[in-house]
Amino acid sequence: MAKYDFSIRYYGNALEDGRIPIKDLAPSLLALSESFHEIQKISNPNEPELSLDIKATSEGSFIVDLLLSNGKDLLNQAISLLTNKENEAVLNLASYVSIFLAAIPLIKKLKSHKMTNQDENKDGHTTLTFDDNSSITVSNEVVESCKSITFRKSVRKFVQPLENEGIEGIDYYHSKEETYTILKEDYSLFEVPQTKNKELEPTISEVYLQIINVAFEHGKWKFSDGTNQFFASIEDEEFIAAVEKNQQQFGSTDTLRVILQNNQQLTSNGLKSEFVVTKVLEHLKGAQQIALDLE
């Protein structure tokens, strides 16, 4: 099993006088774990999932052991030693910490300055230039991590204790000789930016829809396609005019044959659909009589 240490320390008067119990920092520590999982997915998606063993060492201080197991049984452990996989795993864990350490200042920079240029180098690194004429060169994995909404949300939750009165900063490091700090005034820099929705090609189909609710004030109608219920706007002006003039009357089981357009977007929360009835082709009244079968 490969192991690599990473230390963090929350500090401030609230921890010193016990106003904020250590257990209240648990969501922050869980978010730290999620951020490393996302880094691993970006860097080595086929690697066994790492785990974090978190130990409190003093008031507000924790040692985080990043653990990566290549197999629980003795045979796999022996194979790992013979094939040098253990050393490779340690190097991977070290790289995840390095990515995290580089991503934090880049997130702060991206929030405080506008990026003007991005050059991907041939050595696996990318140079980012900003509107203050400064530039930062980081690994492609750091860039991809900062672009990941999952990683950004996890980092935001990790620094969230800074919102609390009496917590002034978070120190984090692998080696004490290189200690990094996030201060309370930095907290706003970790706000997760809104992702741009991706418009997908709309689909158009002729379907039968049962009316559930009628919107007489130009709102959205509620329909059922026999399986799902959903809201849709109607853009057929001729049909809407007939409804307003009371030329169209509706029963509880009436059905419309329509041209239905489904406008879809990919959002940060997944797929989103918006339905539009572009044309009403036929209004079928609900069954009110029993049909007599004739031979």
Q: What is the mean pLDDT of each successive set of 10 residues along the chain, which is 295 residues long?
A: 80 78 80 92 87 76 65 41 58 89 95 92 92 94 94 95 90 84 94 84 95 77 93 92 84 90 86 94 75 49
Question: Which one-letter amino acid corresponds to residue 192?
Answer: V
- Report angle CA 186, 102, 132 to the nearest 5 degrees: 65
Record the pTM.
Answer: 0.66
d(CA 12, CA 68): 33
Secondary structure (3-state) at 239: helix
Question: Packing angle between helix 149-158 and helix 85-112, nearest 10 degrees?
Answer: 80
Burial class (CB within 10 angstroms; exposed 0-12, middle 13-18, buried 19+) of 149 = middle
Parts of the chain belonging to CATH 2.40.50: 198-284
What CATH class is the domain 198-284?
Answer: mainly beta
